[in-house]
């Protein structure tokens, strides 16, 4: 990933945020919001931003296929080959439920993936104007400054555990396993915010249930390039195209090893 390409993608994200996403924030009408499925919203900003980002990415690197969240909602068969070849992944508004409610956090994410492996990723918070990016083998950066993940330093690791896609029985079992061993905090319902929290010392570990590619390819690379660790319950790495549920991210491999037996049981 060349510096010029990074600059171009960052500029594209900022432009689309300024022209499409931020003008809609806290100014959506009821007709601008739809429910794709239970507890999963889409807004006019998601759709318009995805189209603009796709057009911009095609001009930056037309040799990569473009797969966006909303395009997959319209044509789920796109997911069948998302792990093949060179692909731009787009999450035009991550944390749409927050965005639709007029609340933060929400973000915008892009990843460049080759054969299922993230090569570059961007996580942009348009309200704070915070740009996180990572390059495979080249490090993780926030607003151009290289960063290293750090834990909270708490005796009980601080854990943000996404449980809303679990059954009531599984949720109760997880809560019982971690009681007195992990300090539970609310999740942001926004992967573009959760991954930076693991790098910045806000959270030590985070459990993700759904692992859709656009939600995680940028953040996994960012966290791992910062020195953190992300893996499935069996220890295998995240890979675009893997449809399994459940993944744990941590600010360090040691924190992952400490929390994984409790989280996964």
Assign residue 64 the CATH number of its domain: 3.30.540.10
Compute the distance between CA of residue 234 and CA of residue 77 in angstroms, rounded to an integer: 27
Q: What are phi and psi of 62, to 5 degrees?
A: -75, -5
Residue 1, pLDDT above cutoff 80 = no
Burial class (CB within 10 angstroms; exposed 0-12, middle 13-18, buried 19+) of 21: buried
The per-residue pLDDT for 167 is 87
Q: Considering the domain boundaries, does residue 11 fall inside one? A: yes
Residues 245 and 178 in one domain: yes
Rounded to two decimals, what is the model's pTM?
0.96
* Sequence-distant (≥ 6) Cβ neighbours of residue 128 within 8 angstroms: none
The per-residue pLDDT for 36 is 85
Count CB neighbours of 44 within 10 A. Answer: 15
Residues 223 and 167 in one domain: yes
Q: Considering the domain boundaries, does residue 140 fall inside one? A: yes
Percent of the chain whose predicted confidence (pLDDT) is above 70? 99
Residues 219 and 192 in one domain: yes
Q: Considering the domain boundaries, does residue 218 fall inside one? A: yes
Residues 179 and 133 in one domain: no
Residues 26 and 142 in one domain: yes
Contact 206, 160 (CB under 8 A): yes
Name the domain boundary from 112, 146, 180: 146
Owning domain of residue 48: 3-146
The per-residue pLDDT for 49 is 98
Q: Considering the domain boundaries, does residue 207 fall inside one? A: yes
Q: Considering the domain boundaries, does residue 127 fall inside one? A: yes
Q: Considering the domain boundaries, does residue 152 fall inside one? A: no
Name the domain boundary from 146, 173, 206: 146
Q: Considering the domain boundaries, does residue 151 fall inside one? A: no
Number of domains in the chain: 2
Name the domain boundary from 88, 111, 146: 146
Q: Considering the domain boundaries, does residue 22 fall inside one? A: yes
Residues 132 and 185 in one domain: no
We report the CATH number of the domain holding residue 246 as 3.40.190.80
Residues 7 and 126 in one domain: yes
Residues 93 and 19 in one domain: yes
Q: What is the mean pLDDT of residues 43-67?
A: 97
Lowest mean pLDDT among 80-89, 151-160, 165-174, 247-256: 165-174
Q: Over the chain, what is the mean pLDDT?
A: 96
């Amino acid at each position: 990933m060349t510096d010029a390409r990074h600059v171009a993608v960052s500029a594209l994200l900022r432009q689309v945020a300024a022209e499409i996403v931020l003008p809609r924030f806290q100014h959506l009408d009821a007709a601008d919001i739809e429910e794709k499925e239970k507890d999963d919203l889409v807004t006019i900003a998601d759709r318009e931003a995805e189209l603009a980002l796709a057009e911009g990415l095609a001009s930056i690197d037309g040799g990569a296929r473009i797969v966006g969240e909303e395009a997959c909602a319209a044509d789920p068969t796109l997911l069948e080959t998302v792990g093949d070849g060179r692909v731009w992944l787009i999450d035009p508004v991550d944390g749409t439920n927050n965005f639709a409610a007029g609340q933060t956090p929400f973000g915008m994410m892009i990843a460049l993936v080759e054969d299922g492996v993230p090569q570059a990723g961007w996580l942009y918070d348009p309200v704070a104007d915070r740009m996180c990016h990572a390059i495979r083998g080249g490090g993780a950066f926030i607003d151009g400054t290289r960063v290293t993940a750090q834990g909270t330093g708490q005796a009980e690791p601080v854990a943000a555990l996404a449980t809303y896609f679990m059954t009531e029985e599984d949720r109760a079992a997880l809560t019982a396993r971690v009681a007195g061993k992990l300090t539970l905090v609310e999740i942001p319902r926004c992967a573009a915010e959760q991954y930076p929290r693991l790098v910045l010392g806000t959270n030590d570990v985070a459990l993700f249930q759904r692992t859709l590619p656009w939600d995680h390819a940028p953040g996994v690379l960012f966290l791992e390039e910062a020195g953190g660790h992300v893996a499935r319950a069996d220890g295998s790495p995240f890979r675009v195209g893997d449809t399994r549920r459940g993944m744990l991210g941590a600010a360090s491999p040691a924190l992952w090893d400490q929390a994984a037996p409790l989280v996964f049981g």
